[in-house]
């Protein structure tokens, strides 16, 4: 276990290869992660939080590298819906990320950054890497896998790939398949990065530069769909009214950290390629057969990145598979990013799901520290 600059990470032995969906393998694998709370003696209270494209492993504490505050403080922490006094919360930087986990900015065995030499990554690969980490933490079965958006895709992949190792799964404002309009937005972001002379065909780190202009467009692509449709129009109209063609690339990406450009390329492509049903003959229900996992699916009425329709598709498949599933659509004007904000109805519904699952899991309401 290493800790560099306040970033905890686990470097796996080179023999512990991570086998990728495309047939290649990554070794050695490093997983950077953060934990909150304590694993109980029965090792039955572990919660894996899967972060989104703009997130990192610092779900409930400040990022020591960027100084960015915890990204999900309303949901994860002492006394929160995911109570760190009660659960052992693990959050890992995704494979392909840039916050310590193996990614395009990591050093390859030749001492140079991987850059574009890193093999293409799938969400199933990210989850397989998380599974290696969870095992290393001596957790055999997760009490809960939870995520929103891209994080929800990871949680769904967990429930599908490891049906007996996920007691409960919470999928928030997500989808089992990336939609065309999301792919289009992401692809434009990728093209903007690759069109930036400072991208240097992916070798910008070696040149000591960063494709900041292209990256700004990519950040915008990554978060514009997170806003409610009404605000997209409003911020556009406002920017248009203020001055001519000075709409700052960041104006729709306020508060979002700089994403490593190559990480954006890898991770966004993994998201765009996600199609859980495709691995099961086109039947999403088949992705959940014989699953004992209980699912909580949450959607926000004004989310146009992953509209409630996408969540209903997941719920229908779960029902068809005979899985236990509950669905809650929260009426809100906050769009996709509502999961990050103050949404009492959402927090209440999530708390209800988590508590009932915990009771079914035999987890006491109080304590949990071992």
Selected binder of its own copies within 3, 16, 195, 359 (CB under 8 A):
195
Please work out, in degrees rounded to the nearest 5, the angle formed at the alpha carbon of residue 213 by the alpha carbons of 209 and 217.
135
From the list 78-86, 139-147, 152-160, 208-216, the region that binds its own copies by CB under 8 A is 208-216
Site size with its own copies, rule: CB under 8 A: 48
Instruction: Give 32 or 224: the residue with its C-beta nearer to its own copies.
Output: 224
Instruction: Say whether residue 191 binds its own copies (CB under 8 A).
Output: yes
Give buried/exposed letters for 134-160 (b at 16+ CB in 10 A, else e): beebebeebbbbbbbbbbbbbbbbbbb
Site for its own copies in 245-284 (CB under 8 A): 245, 247, 249, 252, 265, 269, 272-273, 275
Cβ distance 34 to 63 under 8 Å?
Answer: no
**Beta-ladder partners of 142:** 166
272: nearest Cα among 214, 196, 334, 221: 221
Instruction: Say whether residue 192 binds its own copies (CB under 8 A).
Output: yes
Q: Least distance to its own copies from the beta carbon of 293, Å?
A: 27
Instruction: Give 92 or 265: the residue with its C-beta nearer to its own copies.
Output: 265
Q: What x-and-dash track marks residues 304-343 binding its own copies by CB under 8 A?
A: x---------------------------------------
Site for its own copies in 8-67 (CB under 8 A): none
What one-character-per-residue DSSP string does 319-335 give?
A: HHTT-EEEEEEEP-SS-
Cβ distance 93 to 100 under 8 Å?
Answer: yes
Instruction: Please give the Cα distance from 179 to 165 (Å, whole number).
Output: 28
Instruction: Please give the Cα distance from 158 to 131 (Å, whole number).
Output: 9
Selected binder of its own copies within 189, 296, 308, 368 (CB under 8 A):
189
Instruction: Say whether residue 196 binds its own copies (CB under 8 A).
Output: yes
Give CA 31 to chain center in angstroms.
Answer: 15
Instruction: Please give the Cα distance from 167 to 83 (Å, whole number).
Output: 17
Instruction: Say whether residue 229 binds its own copies (CB under 8 A).
Output: yes
Site for its own copies in 116-175 (CB under 8 A): 116, 120
Which residues contribute to the site for its own copies (CB under 8 A)? 116, 120, 178-181, 183-185, 187-192, 194-197, 202, 213-214, 216-217, 220-221, 224-225, 227-230, 232-233, 236-237, 240, 244-245, 247, 249, 252, 265, 269, 272-273, 275, 304
């Amino acid at each position: 276990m290493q800790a560099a600059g306040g970033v905890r990470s686990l470097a796996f032995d080179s023999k512990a290869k991570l086998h990728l969906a495309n047939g290649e393998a990554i070794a050695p694998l490093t997983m950077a992660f953060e934990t909150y709370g304590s694993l109980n003696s029965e090792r039955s209270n572990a919660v894996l939080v899967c972060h989104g494209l703009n997130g990192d492993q610092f779900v409930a504490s400040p990022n020591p590298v960027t100084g960015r505050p915890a990204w999900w403080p309303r949901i994860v922490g002492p006394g929160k819906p995911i109570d760190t006094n009660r659960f052992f919360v693990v959050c890992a930087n995704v494979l392909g990320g840039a916050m310590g986990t193996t990614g395009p900015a990591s050093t390859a065995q030749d001492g140079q950054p991987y850059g574009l030499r890193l093999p293409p990554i799938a969400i199933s690969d990210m989850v397989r890497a998380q599974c290696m980490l969870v095992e290393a933490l001596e957790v055999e079965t997760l009490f809960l896998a939870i995520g929103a958006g891209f994080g929800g895709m990871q949680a769904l992949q967990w429930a599908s790939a490891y049906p007996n190792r996920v007691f409960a799964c919470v999928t928030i404002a997500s989808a089992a398949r990336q939609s065309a309009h999301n792919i289009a937005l992401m692809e434009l972001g990728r093209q903007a990065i690759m069109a930036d002379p400072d991208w240097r065909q992916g070798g910008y780190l070696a040149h000591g530069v960063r494709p900041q202009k292209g990256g700004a467009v990519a950040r915008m692509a990554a978060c514009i769909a997170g806003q409610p449709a009404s605000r997209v129009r409003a911020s556009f109209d406002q920017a248009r009214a203020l001055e001519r063609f000075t709409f700052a690339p960041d104006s729709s990406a306020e508060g979002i950290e700089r994403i490593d450009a190559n990480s954006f390329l890898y991770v966004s492509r993994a998201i765009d390629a996600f199609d859980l049903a495709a691995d099961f003959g086109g039947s999403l229900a088949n992705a959940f057969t014989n699953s004992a996992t209980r699912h909580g699916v949450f959607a926000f009425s004004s989310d146009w990145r992953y509209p409630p329709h996408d969540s209903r598709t997941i719920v229908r498949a779960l029902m068809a598979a005979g899985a236990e599933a509950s669905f809650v659509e929260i009426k809100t004007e906050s769009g996709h990013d509502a999961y990050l904000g103050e949404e009492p109805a959402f927090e209440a519904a999530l708390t209800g799901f988590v508590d009932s699952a915990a009771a079914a899991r035999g987890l006491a309401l109080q304590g949990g520290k071992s």
